[in-house]
Amino acid sequence: MSDRNILVINCGSSSIKFALVHEYEPTFRLQGLAERLGSPEAVLQWQVGPEKQIKDMPGADHQAALSFILPLAQKAAGGHLDGIGHRVVHGGEHFTSAGIVNDEVLEGIRASAQLAPLHNPANLIGIEAAIELFPGLPQVAVFDTAFHQSMPDYAYHYAVPEFLYKEHGVRRYGFHGTSHRYVSKRAAEMTGLPVEDSCWLSAHLGNGSSTCAIVNGESRDTSMGMTPLEGLVMGTRSGDVDPNLHSYLASTLGWSLDQIDNMLNRDSGLKGLSGLSNDMRTIYEAKKAGHQGATLAFNVFCYRLAKSLAGMACALPRLDGLIFTGGIGENSAAVRAQTVEFLKLFNIKLDAEANARCVCGVAGEIQAAGSPRVMVVPTNEERQIALDTLALLDD
Ligand code: AMP
């Protein structure tokens, strides 16, 4: 079989990101983003080759946007759309891998919705709209959490009363699984190591950030937990804080749970520390210009990342390489340099020239001679979702 095309759909609460992935072509034939869905400012942007287009769709909801996107995808695929791969954020303990969408899978996504109330319902809307518009096309759900279902129990349990896990699903699940899996497989390919005998630390650094320890193609630990708030400092998310912060803020400032939740998810991280921006480009430029808040934000980001990587090393029998990916990991030589500087005991030395060269999608090894391996590997979650979809179509 050859020449297959998969439409990859990532539905957020008010957005749809999409890409048409051809199984052998490295670039997408079609990609785009519908934003502000459900509002008068709803807008759809897409790109076929170099050609960019934009369409105002006032009041359009997910269904309306998808009924425009799906024919676009059919056309870009030359009439041969073979399946749709849906990104689903939370699969709970129901899914250890991707699944062809059927009643059971839909039920599993619904059952996990209380763990991701902002994401899973939006993912479901996308799946249901796509089924209605293209009933004959195979649809596959690919879960952010599935890759981490291989974590051992001592890595995923919180030390809280066991009934909270057994009856309410309170445990660490981890996210960004599609990205960590993709880059660790790519790193193995690039170095000639077999996936099933390789050990990696991966740092996915974007608006959301997480680390992962990957042994022989399986996640053994990751920094995000029951929700994507745990772990690293992110664009607007705090990452780890003292769990007593909630009761302290409630009793001293009278803050409600909603206010605290909002502060930790939307007003913290790089944005909260710098008072300037959630974007690492802005933070780094301001740091260079001597801005104190930006300097602190940069240093806390890198130190906490180094500390997380050092912790993740507990899950590895050896280290074949440290992988940087995501918008920051792929583009910020300065974050990479500062992070390994904080990881003194790893004895990593970077090759400054190689580190500077690996930006804007350039992959490669960036360590100096004799140092443990450090790699920059651009992630491609859309391709991984398409590969998972194709694999299920082949079954
Ligand atoms: P992502 O969520 O993976 O798309 O990453 C988005 C983030 O990557 C942005 O918010 C920026 O902070 C960061 N980013 C993109 N380009 C650069 C760059 N050249 N230098 C530093 N950070 C960057």
User: What pLDDT does residue 359 have?
Assistant: 98
Band the pLDDT of 2: cuts 50, 70, 90. Answer: low
Fold agreement (5-143, 192-381): yes
What would the mean pLDDT of 338-350 be, rounded to a whole number?
Answer: 97
Residues in contact with ligand 1 by the CB-under-6-Å rule are: 206-207, 235, 279-281, 284, 326-328, 331-332
Ligand 1 atom nearest 379 alpha carbon: 3
Binding residues for Mg(2+): 10, 381
Q: What mean pLDDT is reported for the chain?
A: 95
User: What pLDDT does residue 193 have?
Assistant: 98
- Among residues 107, 103, 183, 101, the alpha carbon closest in space to that of 142 is found at 101
* In the chain, where the domains are located: 5-143, 192-381
pLDDT beyond 80 at 39: yes
Which residue among 31, 279, 282, 358 has the greatest number of ligand 1 atoms within 8 angstroms of its CB, and so is best to mutate?
279
280-338 residue pLDDT tens: 999 999 999 999 999 999 999 999 999 999 999 999 999 999 999 999 999 999 999 99
Q: Is 144 a catalytic residue?
A: yes
Q: Under DSSP, is residue 328 helix (H, G, I), strand (E, B) or coil?
A: helix
Ligand 1 atom nearest 326 alpha carbon: 3
87-100 residue pLDDT tens: 999 999 999 999 99
- Among residues 200, 210, 232, the alpha carbon closest in space to that of 315 is found at 200
207 CA distance to ligand 1 middle (Å): 7
pLDDT beyond 80 at 1: no
112 CA distance to ligand 1 middle (Å): 30
Which residue among 281, 338, 355 has the greatest number of ligand 1 atoms within 8 angstroms of its CB, and so is best to mutate?
281
What would the mean pLDDT of 261-271 be, rounded to a whole number?
Answer: 96
Nearest residue (CA) to ligand 1, atom 10: 279
- Comparing 135 with 199, the larger pLDDT belongs to 199
Quick one: CATH architecture of 5-143? 2-Layer Sandwich (3.30)
User: What pLDDT does residue 6 have?
Assistant: 97
Give 3-state DSSP helix, strand, coil % of the chain, rounded to 5. 45, 20, 35
Ligand 1 atom nearest 360 alpha carbon: 19
User: What pLDDT does residue 3 have?
Assistant: 83
Q: Out of 3, 82, 144, 261, pick the active-site residue.
A: 144
Band the pLDDT of 133: cuts 50, 70, 90. Answer: confident
Listed in sequence order, the residues at least 6 apart from 180 whose beta carbon sits closer than 8 Å to its beta carbon are: 147, 202, 204, 210, 212, 214, 219, 222
176-222 residue pLDDT tens: 999 999 999 999 999 999 999 999 999 999 999 999 999 999 999 99
DSSP string, 147-184: GGGGS-HHHH--SS-HHHHHHH--S---S-HHHHHHHH
371-392 residue pLDDT tens: 999 999 999 999 999 999 999 9
383 CA distance to ligand 1 middle (Å): 20
Fold of domain 192-381 = Nucleotidyltransferase; domain 5 (3.30.420)
Task: Please give the model's pTM, rounded to 2 decimal places.
Answer: 0.95
281 CA distance to ligand 1 middle (Å): 7
pLDDT beyond 90 at 235: yes
User: What pLDDT does residue 385 have?
Assistant: 97
